[in-house]
Amino acid sequence: MDYQVVHPANADLVMVEGSWPVPARPIRAAFLLSEEGQKRPNATPRFILFQDGRIVLTVTGNGDWKDKMWPMIQDVTATKA
């Protein structure tokens, strides 16, 4: 599993391609085409689980990380912490 961090200087740069590491740019492109990407592209903190060229889950906020994203990561990796 790869882990990419996008941490621009301000919220206006969140979806600017140059703010994203090159390996993460396909994730940005897929996200911007998604319903969530169309509605709330700049919501932060945002967590995106991207697998096999598609977005599996996207959530915002630390609560959704804990309640939704972390369990999903455990499921797709068949691990438990």
pLDDT at 80 over 90: no
Task: Specify the pLDDT at position 64.
Answer: 96
pLDDT tens per residue, range 3-53:
888 988 888 899 999 999 999 999 999 999 999 999 999 999 999 999 999
Question: Comparing C-alpha atoms, which of 5, 2, 53 is closest to residue 29?
Answer: 53
pLDDT classification of 81: cutoffs 50, 70, 90: low
Q: What is the spatial distance between Cα 41 and Cα 67, in angstroms, rounded to a whole number?
A: 21
Written as six digits, the tokens of 62 are: 């630390």
Q: What is the spatial distance between Cα 47 and Cα 39, in angstroms, rounded to a whole number?
A: 16
pTM flag (> 0.75): yes
SS3 percent helix, strand, coil of the chain, rounded to 5, is 50, 15, 35
